[in-house]
Structure formats: C-alpha cells, structure tokens
Amino acid sequence: MISNFLVGLFLGLAGSLHCIGMCGPLILLFPLNGTTKLMGLMNSLAYQFGRVFIYVLLGLLFGAVFQIVDLKYFERYFSIFIGMLFFILWFREISVKTNASHNTLQTIIYNLFGKVMQWKSIMGMFLGGMMNGLLPCGLVYGALLTAFGTGTTEGSVVFMLGFGLATIPSLLLLSFFKNAITIKFRQKLSKLLPWWLLVLGIWFLLRGLNLGIPFISPKFTGNHMGQQQCCRPMNI
C-alpha cells in the first residue's frame, strides 16, 4: 500500500511541470488570491484539494472493477494491455495538434467552472478544483491506468491520492507567482508529457513480458497467468 502511494507521488512530481502548462491557464484566468495572504492560501488549498478529491474518486471508480473481476489470474497480459494503451496515448499526444475547440463535455465543465468560481468562497474554490480535475488530461489518464494496474481497489485509491497530492506544490506556487511564468514557458513544459507516457508504456510492457527482472519485469507465478494448480495428484 505504501509503495503504491510512493509511486503515485513520483508520477505526480514528475508530471508537475506538465500540470503548470495544462492547468496553469485556469489558475491564471481566475485569481485565487483573497483579501489577505491567509485567505488567498486557504482559497488556493481549497481549489487544489477539490482537484485531488476528484482524482481519488476516479481511482475508487476504477478500482471498483476489482470487486467484480479478479485480474490477478491474467495480470501479465493485463499489464501488456495497459502498456499498449500508454503507447496509444503517447502517439496521440505527439501526432494530434491542440486546437481551441472543445467537445461538449469540456464546454459543460468550463461553464460550470466559471459559475462556481464566481461564488468567491472556499466552497466555490473547492468545486472549481473538482471541475478542473474532470477536464481531459493525458497525464491523468496515464495515472488512472497506472492506478488500475495496482490490482486492488485500495491500491488504486492510494495511488491517485499520492498522485494528486504531488501535483499541488507546483500549482500552488503558480497561483502566487503567476507573473514569473510566461505562456511560452508553460507551452514548453506541456511538451514533456508524451515522453512520460512513453516511459510508462515501456515499463508496463516490460512488466508483462515476464523477464524475471526485479521491480521492472518480475517473474509471474502460474496462478498469476491463469494456470491454477488445483488438480495436482495427492500423495497417499
């Protein structure tokens, strides 16, 4: 359980620069500072914890699958499948150019975001963070796939908690030092995302190849490959 949290922290920290590039514009568009520095800090924290709350909730929803299907019996092939999904995300990020248009879901979320941010209250900031967490993001998709790969509901939730908490510092600093980070710099940071997705894809693929390399490609047992040894002859 602790290892899942730590891996989530690592992915969140590694993707923090991408968060500045993608989520930064929303923070810059709606100032989070209040009438006092303390109020500004509370508003900023409420916004960030709203975003983390959504990540944890998504982790719980993804992890709920394990209550229905025991993936351990084909864990090796499932890992390869996740690796291939990461490769698809990577290819999509490097081949599809971003444009100003949004789909229906994004439009709805942006409209709700604008409304709750007008409340100018801690609850409004919290709900605004939740809206932010629901916006399409390749890094979040990658985190959810990794959380799904933990194999347990608890592991999925804890992973997404670590991931969300690790993304807070960079965005919190951005809300108070927004004038020091240019749009051009944020755009450069956002270009790092595809390569993190590629690394995760390679890791999951190697993990499923059953090479016997500790931590990178562990050796799966027969039970983990769907070969239950329940009918072995008994010695009399």
What is the model's pLDDT at position 43?
A: 84
Q: Over the stretch 7-59, which tens digit does the pLDDT of each residue have?
A: 888 888 877 777 776 676 677 666 555 556 777 788 888 989 999 999 999 99
Amino acid at 9: L
Q: Where residue 87 falls among pLDDT bands split at 50, 70, 90?
A: confident
- Distance, in Å, from the CA atom of 73 to the CA atom of 8, rounded to the nearest integer, reads 24
Q: Which phi and psi angles does 168 have, rounded to 5°?
A: -70, -50
Say how many C-beta atoms besides its own lie within 10 A of residue 50's C-beta.
22
Q: Over the stretch 166-200, which tens digit does the pLDDT of each residue have?
A: 999 888 887 777 666 666 766 666 676 677 778 87
Give me the mean pLDDT over the 202-209 stretch: 80
Give the predicted TM-score (pTM) of the model. Answer: 0.71
User: b/e per residue, 39-48, with b = 16+ CB within 10 A?
Assistant: ebbebbbbbb
Report whether 14 contacts 143 (CB < 8 A): no
3-class DSSP state of 123 = helix
Helix (H) or strand (E) segment spanning residue 146: helix 138-148
